[in-house]
Structure 1
Amino acid sequence: MRPALLRLLRRPFAVSTLDTLAATSIGIEQLEFDYTRLRGQPQCLRHYSSANNPDTRPVERKHWPRQRRTLRKRDLPLTVHEIEIPTKTNAIAPPQLPPKPHPENETIIDFPVKTLRLHPERLEFESNIGHTRDIGTRLVDQPEHSSDFELWEELLNHRQRLYGDQGIQEIWEGLTVRLQGVQLPVTGARADFLWKSFVGLGLRREIYLSGVLQHAIDLYEREGASWPHLYESVVGGLLDQGRTRQASALHRRLQQSGIAQPNDLVRVVKSAFRPACLPTSTDPPHSIIAQRRTITLGMTAFKDMCRCTPGHRIYGPVISDLMRSGFGEHALRMHNFLVKHDDHPQTAEEMLDLLEYVKRHGSRQEFDAIRDYAKDREFEDFNIDAPTSNDTALTGNAKKTTGRRYNDDIGAKLISTPPFNLEWVIGTLKMLGISAIGPRTIREITIRANGSKEVLDRIKMIRGSGITIEDSVFPRLVEKLARQHRSILLSDLLHSDQHPDVLADVKMQESFLVSHYMTQDWRQYNLAQAVLAEHFPGTSGLLDIHFRKHIAAGEYDAASKVVDEVAIHGQKLSEESVDFMAEKVLTYRQVTKAPTPGKQLSAKDEVMFVFRVLQRVVPAGSYVSAAFWVELLKRLGMSDNWDELSEVCQWLVHEYSFRHHATPSLFPSKLQPTGRDGRILDQIFTETMHVAIVTWGFRPRIDEYIVKEQKHYYEHPITGGKHILWMRGIILLRMLSNAGLKVEANWVRQATRRRLAILFSKYSPSAKPVNRTLRRLCPFTLYELIAAAKRAWGDESLFRGGELSRSLRGMANPYRTTSSFRRSSNVLLSRAEMGHLREKR
């Protein structure tokens, strides 16, 4: 029954049928026959016949049971009862519906617009105005209705719902071709609906966009007003579609007409740098390259619009929006561009986040340039060494104490004198005009109390007398422990040998916490933990401290559990915790030397523990410098831990590559740059790192025995194809390139030729014994390695056809520098190596 009713309500005549049934007193047993009869009539006459034609009234029940049986497959054992409707003296008469309109030869009967939507046939007729025929037969043709925008909204809504863009086009042609002189409203919800519909049609069908803009320009010239959202709807809509040239052209047109102001450029920043056509992160890996290209085109168009718009002051909003969205690199470029075009920041706050970004992800020259520019602007509140969130922990808790203070030590000695009770001391302080006391005085007042209740009573008595207690860690902690009835911890605090001022030193309290934890002095450990909890009301700071505590104690499993809790709460580790972990976990490594095993973990396990921690906290916003990631990659590559090296490289590219969606921020300020625009990857995977990855791929020794045992193959992680083991680095770089990393084929080619020169060159071999060993044991020919390299890279143009245009020996003998000759001349070879060298030559 329900599906049939839903199908009925979807039909065009459902509204008319329900209207007729509501106005006619019939029984429920008559509905089926009446509905069957109505279905056979033309659609335009169904709602008239049942209400107005007496000849089509339902017949008596005795005349239609046979017809009812023919409509059903079988009789149902149901008893149908009459529904009696009580008679009313003042029965409501059925509404008089307007007659069906006829063109040209009949007069238009006016009726309210709200009732028009109840009659689809009439609404269809009135909305059919996309032509110049039958002028004078529609409501909008009459002068009193031509400017009735409630009627226009109803017609547009109906036409758009049934015919889509074609319906909007017909209404627009009715406004501009069939009628002339109609001016669209510019304010209100109805104006927003009309303008959005027509502008949207113009964005989808470019031929109508110029007409909509011309209508807006003419209206602005006549009335001096325009739709407030016209600029961002037109220019921003084109930028969202990636149509940058059209956006620049219409921007100039709107600027010249006066509709758009210079600072309206701020409204299209989001569309220029984050257009709707930008591929999302769920697309294939090559979409990252398309993202970069789309962003570059949008930034170029935005710069063009800025050049042709003098007098704009948009530095603050533009830089803030870019930094908040994670486009730090583009914010740096826009800074240089805007400053060059005389658009400068008004306050230092507009530059702090950009300066912090360049400090972390930029070069030294970029940081110095922006810092010098900020100093030249002479901002009064500019401070290059402003503390971040991890510096001062008591900034939010420190409060100024008003009133006259006295020497806290003298007050403490005065109260500690046995003959003087608390009431006498309070009276003396008030007599001397003292209105504020310090933590030592509070300590002497509360240390004589008997239990938590008396401590609270004494504090209440002091405050009730009008004396202020200085806001510091000790008084707050005493009152907190007393209210929580933690008597043992309160006693340890009051009888501790620590000066109250020491409790304000976070570093010292953390050292106490670690020391008591390692000596298992749990009472003092709980006291230090309570003090630190007062410094850090939330869980973020305490989790950082507990993480460093477990790292210092060598409890890596416990530290990993703390990191899990940090990740679950969506928090991040501070830079101090990351640096502390690197210092304590990673064993010292000499430059150009492979790492040595640590005391607790192997060299590989140390790096992977650090990586697992960073893998969980970096997505939440923890900052890790590019130099630290380079050190981790070096340790894995030098130790020949290739699977781990490949995993770390692929994760770095996935995590730090350019993304369209918003990401967690690195900075706690109001404007939060993320730095995940690919810039940090450029600092990690430099030319040196490209060469190193190719070199680490050639690290394993391959001799004839390994070839005989078929152990010299490397299986491609994706395709599963078998390659020579030395091609691992080239395969990894190709995979990173497909994942979105900017890999220069020229760097790969030069690194590969360098390895071929070490193995097959005619001059003296490398000064490193490991390279000479690889040369002596190499079981492959030069041709085999060149073919393997091209197959691993997946492109025949890796060597640019150099292996075909000249001899293969030329590929293995690149140009040598003076330093190369000098190093090779000082190499001392053994007799076996000299003999092998003669054979090679």
Structure 2
Amino acid sequence: MRPALVRLLKRPSAVSVLDSLVSTPLGIEQLELNYKRLRCQNRTISQSTSLNGPEFGSQPSATKESPAAEHNKSNRQPFSFRVHEIGSSREKTDDDIPHPKKYPSAKAPAQDHPRSLALQPERLEFESDIGHTKDIGAKLVDDPARRHDFALWEELLRHRQRHYGDKGTLDIWEGLTIRHGGIELPVDGEHADFLWESFIELGLKRGLLLQEIVTYASELWKKTGKRWDRFHLKVVGGLLERGMVQQAVTWHENLQHPHLSNPNDILHLLEPAISLGAHQMVDQGAIAPGVRAFRQICRKTQVRHIYGPVISRLLQSGLGREALWMHMFFVSHNEHPRRFEDIQRLLQYAMEHTPTHVYQKLETYAMDTFESQRAESNDRNATTAEERVENYMVKEKPFSDELGARLFATRSFNLDMILSGLRMLGVTAIGPQSLREMAVRAHGSQDLLEKLRLLQRSGISVGDSVFARLIRRLAEEKRDILLSDLLHSDQHPDVLEDATMQESLLISYYMTRDWRHYQMTLAILAELSEEGPELFNVHFRKQIVAGHLKSAAKVVDTMTLRGRTLTKDSLDLLVRKALGPRRPGVGPPVRFGLHPSKEVLVVFRILKRAVPKGCHVDADLWVEILKRFGMTHRWYEVRDCSLWLARFYSSLAKPPGNEPWPIHPSDQHKARVAIPPAHYGSDMLKAIFSSQMQAALVSWGFRCRVSLSEAKAYNPFKVKGEQLVPWVRGLVLLRKLEQHGIRLARYWIRRTCRHRLAVLFGRDRLSSRPRNRMLRRENPYDVHQVTQDMNRAWGSHTLFRGWEVKDLHRLVNPPSTKMSLNRTRRTVFRATHLRKGAFVRTR
């Protein structure tokens, strides 16, 4: 059955039908089913159509058809697909394909390009195979005249996508950037949209490729001053649609210039942010992650007049809680509604779904905002001279905050007198210093709240600063001691807006045990931070700066239980403070009073808890952790860390349901919030376990100080009666890593094994490494036993390619480099001429 089907599909008529189905976005129902004897009609039409038909722009045939043939042709309906002469594809050569002198540009419509390759599947397969640098000059795109023919590039890309999926798209990208450098993609037109969208769609699945595309777009902008208008939307919006919210914020910050023409264009990102938040809520009562990411994007962009569209769209999507959250953000950044209709629906939602004090606060804000606008509008409509004079007298003037503070501090004036004077002067708002003096004169929280209500009824606002919000909140919560400390603090109210300064003060108060100021600063940060009252990241950074790594680890444990994750600032501080600098080739220094290995172990445990919750860690940091474990001779930590990394990152490419860590049913939505692309795990493993790292694992396996009792106890494969030399544990670990998809660098592994054998059994050379001299001096094993156990740990006799049998002496004495010989001469000289100076401890 299969050979018959293959022969049927190879017929030119079948190829024509299949090509029509692929190239035309119509359903199968569009094909005319009333045609019979298709082969006969094909033969009839083929006889009247030359090889260079209308499709190739040739002149019509001069042969005149008979009247009967013309009658049959007129009665026959046209085919919706092309019909070709049998054998035409075999007779066509490269000369039959037209090569016009000037090809359509990227701005020209797609139909102007002759689709000469669409009828030749074999030729199309050959021409689209350009993801390499072989046979340069044999393809159409190698021709300088066709190299910038983007209609041809689009045709090749569609073919590779149809047959090879993402691998085909990657081939075309490599053909554009590697096979031929200097090709500038178009930035407008249908060809540009298709090419950029295809490449970015693949880049969203592969992080390294996305970085290449961004670099290419930046170089194109620097070189030509051109860019694709939808680049920012496709990258950031695509990341939001995939739930990669932190990466979306980071890429937005990197792509603002030059890919964001107008700051208000971020409104296009609201739809993917809402679609993410509508079905991937972290837990009930929490803010949707997509909206949280959109708020961070707004914070990093100078947007104006987007209050109305954002709040309206959130309410339409049923995200009322998020709408209130964004309202507070907009107001704190001086972004207010321009019409009462922009806030009317939000007021209705707050009245129906929020506590009374929340609705009252929102209603007060709306009254303060729009009643003053209505009064100004009425003033502009007044026409009489008397009203104009009155309006001039009551017109709002700038009011000095220092003067207001003096008024409230004067005991001769009561509050009613001060309010009457402010109304007469047309004052609609007072500053933080005036508010502080008024609060200092209040008798307790209830009296302060009553005075705030009097100000509100008088139409005088206290603003929306951190100081004003904090005073109102502390008074409502009746925290009189904390309120008194805030009012009598020597900090200016404007300093309370600086989160970095407040966090620095918090750490200082914590280390000096000044608990009253510590609690006050903690309340200020709770008003400033997006985390709310928990302030997990602030407490984590506080413990890191104070040197309490174990307390920081407990904070991370609590964050894991609550479903929170560390921010990038917290991770950077952890690496900078906990690990500290290290000279190349030298072990880590002692910090925080802990042994370097224990210090690195605490960092590893923190990252081990944070990474599964969506916290991104660079591969360089994992490499540094493995190096520090190996340099401090902590083999079991090296093994556990390597196996955990292999299990975790190899599981990221598995389908849902194969999570590498246990997930509580209530946290399943939480685990899907930041799912990385499919190739993220494999790229991380490739970067961590490079050829140099694999060689280091083998070398660290030989560093243990063995004895006969330890040798008897080493049985990695759990085979009864089997005893292996403990030095082969690096090879055993590599075989386990191979089971998780890590490709082994066999050349580097073999080279390292020969080097370690030379240290133990090679020529008697004085080593500058104390551990190498100790291992050679205490070596209880025979070279034959060690090589046999290495082959058993490797799983075959291909490790040394039979040299252990043919030429053992050559195996354990590899050629020495010039650097190695110079180091040996220097060591011998020191041992001969210097006292206690021959062996300098380098590791």
TM-score, structure 2 normalization: 0.55
Residue in structure 1 matching 2:653, options 655, 659, 671? 659
The letter of the residue matching 2:738 is S
- Tell me if structure 1 keeps the 8 A contact 2:200–2:213: no
1:527 Cα deviation after fit: 1.8
Deviations 1:767-821 (A, max 9, x none): 22322332333333444333322222223222344445x6222222333332222
Residue in structure 1 matching 2:687, options 680, 683, 694? 683
- Tell me if structure 1 keeps the 8 A contact 2:713–2:723: yes
Change (3 A) 1:618 1:481: same
Residue in structure 2 matching 1:561, options 551, 554, 560? 554
- Tell me if structure 2 keeps the 8 A contact 1:390–1:574: no
Separation of aligned partners in 1, 2:163 and 2:417: 73
Separation of aligned partners in 1, 2:254 and 2:431: 44
Separation of aligned partners in 2, 1:545 and 1:218: 71
Change (3 A) 1:701 1:483: closer
Separation of aligned partners in 2, 1:710 and 1:526: 55
Separation of aligned partners in 2, 1:729 and 1:378: 51
Change (3 A) 1:556 1:771: closer
Give the corresponding residue for 2:361.
none
Give the corresponding residue for 1:815.
815
1:387 Cα deviation after fit: 13
Residue in structure 2 matching 1:514, options 493, 507, 515? 507
Give the corresponding residue for 1:593.
586
Change (3 A) 1:375 1:324: closer
Alignment of 1:145-224 (within 5 A): none
Give the corresponding residue for 1:212.
none
1:546 Cα deviation after fit: 1.7
Alignment of 1:647-796 (within 5 A): 647-657=640-650, 659-661=653-655, 676-702=680-706, 706-707=707-708, 709=709, 711=711, 714-716=714-716, 722-762=723-763, 764-796=765-797
1:678 Cα deviation after fit: 2.8
Structure 1 range deviating more: 536-545 or 603-612? 536-545
Separation of aligned partners in 1, 2:511 and 2:152: 67
1:534 Cα deviation after fit: 0.5
1:528 Cα deviation after fit: 1.8
Separation of aligned partners in 2, 1:643 and 1:271: 48
- Tell me if structure 1 keeps the 8 A contact 2:397–2:425: no
Residue in structure 1 matching 2:228, options 332, 338, 345? 345
Are 1:619 and 2:607 matched, yes or no?
no
Separation of aligned partners in 1, 2:813 and 2:253: 47
Change (3 A) 1:315 1:745: same
Give the corresponding residue for 1:481.
474
- Tell me if structure 2 keeps the 8 A contact 1:323–1:671: no
Alignment of 1:45-64 (within 5 A): none
Separation of aligned partners in 2, 1:809 and 1:582: 46
Give the corresponding residue for 1:448.
441
- Tell me if structure 1 keeps the 8 A contact 2:428–2:460: yes
Separation of aligned partners in 1, 2:768 and 2:203: 49
Change (3 A) 1:494 1:372: closer
- Tell me if structure 2 keeps the 8 A contact 1:653–1:739: yes
Percent sequence identity over aligned pairs: 32
1:447 Cα deviation after fit: 2.1
The letter of the residue matching 1:399 is N
The letter of the residue matching 1:716 is P
Separation of aligned partners in 1, 2:669 and 2:213: 20
1:535 Cα deviation after fit: 0.9
Separation of aligned partners in 2, 1:377 and 1:454: 54
Deviations 1:58-82 (A, max 9, x none): xxxxxxxxxxxxxxxxxxxxxxxxx
Change (3 A) 1:584 1:389: farther
Secondary structure of 2:193's counterpart equals coil
Structure 1 range deviating more: 580-589 or 631-640? 580-589
The letter of the residue matching 2:704 is P
Separation of aligned partners in 1, 2:545 and 2:210: 40
Separation of aligned partners in 2, 1:629 and 1:480: 44
In structure 2, list runs of 5 or more residues that go unmatched: 1-27, 39-77, 83-123, 130-150, 178-184, 241-251, 265-293, 302-327, 337-368, 370-395, 660-667, 833-843
- Tell me if structure 2 keeps the 8 A contact 1:320–1:671: no
Give the corresponding residue for 2:800.
799
Alignment of 1:298-447 (within 5 A): 299-300=170-171, 311-314=191-194, 317-318=197-198, 321-322=201-202, 325=205, 327-332=206-211, 345-347=228-230, 349-350=232-233, 397-399=332-334, 405-447=398-440
1:649 Cα deviation after fit: 0.8
Rg larger in structure: 1
Secondary structure of 2:714's counterpart equals strand
1:696 Cα deviation after fit: 0.9
1:476 Cα deviation after fit: 0.8
The letter of the residue matching 1:346 is D
The letter of the residue matching 1:676 is Y
In structure 1, list runs of 5 or more residues that go unmatched: 1-170, 182-216, 222-243, 250-259, 276-294, 358-369, 832-841
The letter of the residue matching 1:313 is D
Separation of aligned partners in 1, 2:546 and 2:704: 37
Secondary structure of 1:723's counterpart equals coil
- Tell me if structure 1 keeps the 8 A contact 2:502–2:524: yes
Change (3 A) 1:372 1:419: closer
Change (3 A) 1:443 1:762: same
- Tell me if structure 1 keeps the 8 A contact 2:430–2:462: yes
Give the corresponding residue for 1:607.
600
Change (3 A) 1:773 1:533: same
Alignment of 1:485-504 (within 5 A): 485-504=478-497
1:556 Cα deviation after fit: 4.7
Alignment of 1:268-307 (within 5 A): 296=167, 299-300=170-171
Separation of aligned partners in 2, 1:371 and 1:424: 51
Separation of aligned partners in 1, 2:451 and 2:219: 66
Separation of aligned partners in 2, 1:345 and 1:320: 12
1:761 Cα deviation after fit: 3.3
Are 1:470 and 2:463 matched, yes or no?
yes
- Tell me if structure 1 keeps the 8 A contact 2:587–2:631: yes
- Tell me if structure 1 keeps the 8 A contact 2:431–2:462: yes
Separation of aligned partners in 2, 1:263 and 1:745: 41
Separation of aligned partners in 2, 1:507 and 1:655: 34
Separation of aligned partners in 2, 1:551 and 1:763: 48
Secondary structure of 1:469's counterpart equals coil
